[in-house]
């Protein structure tokens, strides 16, 4: 396969979704960059995991951005041990406490600045609206609006890619399996809100969503591969 010569930047957490994006585009693009943010999340295991994974797949450059100040501005159980991950958000009962207000706004803004200054064509975010935790900044309308703002504000043609947006978790597992990487995803990525690698705690919402998707996929992999192929452009 002739790989695309344009540059692509993955907003990379070391979790299942961003790692699936990395693996997917590593098979399609010659120059892969990763950007990981330290927003003083309670566990640092995802940062360590992201460093290992990016090296494993040979990305061209992986940068780490310190935005610990976000903890002082934004309430979340991911940054405040006094807020339970099982509760609703203290400022909006319709949202889970794991929502970090402004996080994806900041991630996409800073990623776009980096992309602009390094002549990178695409910024990838592994967000999803089918099996997700109810975050408003994971919706497609938000991504499109942010992309429009960036293109106007920097007079550029940087495009945001959200390849997993309309996929179920079972279909995301199918995508990693398509690239023969489902075992790697299972063993080396962190989804757990408690920062436990691989199997996680098995109790938080992120673990529940991850393993419900995994069990569905394992129960009928050919069915979910068929569903994936109906919805997904593998060469986009």
Binding residues for Zn(2+): 192, 201, 204, 207
- Binding-site annotation, residues: 12-22, 192, 201, 204, 207
First to last CA, the chain: 14
Q: What are phi and psi of 74, to 5 degrees?
A: -130, 125
DSSP label at residue 138: G
Q: What are phi and psi of 100, to 5 degrees?
A: -110, 100
Q: Per-residue DSSP letters for 87-120?
A: SEETTEEEEETT--TTHHHHHHHHHHHHHHHTT-
- Binding-site annotation, residues for ATP: 12-22
Contact yes or no for 200/191 (Cβ under 8 A): yes
DSSP label at residue 73: H
Residues 175, 212, 96, 195, CA torsion sign: negative
């Amino acid at each position: 396969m002739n790989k695309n010569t344009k540059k692509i930047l993955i907003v990379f957490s070391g979790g299942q979704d961003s790692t699936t994006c990395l693996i997917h585009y590593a098979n399609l693009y010659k120059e892969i960059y990763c950007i990981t943010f330290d927003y003083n999340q309670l566990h640092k295991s995802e940062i360590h995991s992201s460093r290992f994974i990016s090296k494993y797949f040979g990305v061209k450059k992986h940068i780490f951005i310190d935005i610990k100040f976000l903890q002082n501005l934004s309430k979340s159980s991911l940054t405040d041990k006094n807020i339970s991950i099982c509760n609703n958000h203290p400022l909006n009962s319709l949202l889970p406490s794991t929502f970090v207000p402004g996080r994806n706004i900041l991630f996409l803004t800073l990623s776009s600045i980096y992309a602009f200054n390094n002549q990178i064509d695409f910024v990838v975010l592994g967000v999803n609206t089918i099996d997700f935790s109810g975050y408003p900044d994971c919706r497609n309308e938000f991504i499109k609006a942010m992309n429009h703002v960036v293109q106007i504000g920097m007079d550029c043609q940087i495009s945001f890619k959200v390849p997993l947006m309309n996929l179920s978790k079972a279909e995301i597992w199918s995508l990693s399996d398509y690239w023969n990487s489902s075992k790697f995803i299972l063993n080396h990525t962190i989804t757990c809100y408690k920062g436990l690698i691989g199997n996680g705690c098995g109790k938080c919402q992120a673990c529940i969503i991850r393993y419900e998707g995994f069990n569905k996929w394992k129960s009928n992999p050919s069915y979910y591969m068929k569903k994936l192929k109906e919805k997904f452009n593998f060469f986009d």
